[in-house]
Amino acid sequence: MILLDSNALVEILEKRSKVGEELYLTLIESGEAICTTSINIHEIMYGLIKYGKSTKELLQLPIVDYSREAASLSAQIEYELEKSRTPVRRTDSMIAGVAIKESMQLLTLDEKHFEPIATKGLKLFKLSQLRS
């Protein structure tokens, strides 16, 4: 299963985005199941509401909740990375915690943000995989 980060979702939802169109078509062709987290839904929903856009398509996507186990894991990851002087954004560690706990690959357009978390078990769905 592939977990979609907020930036990938924004591109997919944007009707005029060539990147989003490529992401969407390739994901469909891959046959992989896709989902996102409740954290990503919050990030995207805020923008949609703020700018008066429809939330209907977003709400059709399967959502994995931020569980107690993911919270514990992401807090540990955030602490360890901060201690090693490689801090990450809190929401990134939370999203990664869900992906790791649920054994999913994360598709993000900001791989650089998540690369430090890969040392803690996060599997990134590399964009090069989309182009094959």
55: pLDDT confidence band, cut at 50, 70 and 90? confident
Rounded percentage of the chain residues whose pLDDT exceeds 70:
95
| Domains parsed from the chain with CATH numbers | 2-130 (3.40.50.1010)
- The whole-number pLDDT of residue 132 equals 46
With beta carbons less than 8 A apart as the criterion, state whether 34 and 61 touch: yes
Per the prediction, the chain carries an average pLDDT of 92
Give pLDDT tens digits for 97-127. Answer: 999 999 999 999 999 999 999 999 999 987 6
- pLDDT at residue 56 in the model: 86
Alpha carbons within 13 angstroms on the beta-carbon side of residue 41 total 16
Residue 122 tokens read as: 């996060």
pTM equals 0.89
pLDDT digits (tens, 9 = 90+) for 2-25: 999 999 999 998 888 999 998 988
Neighbours of 122 (CB within 10 A): 21
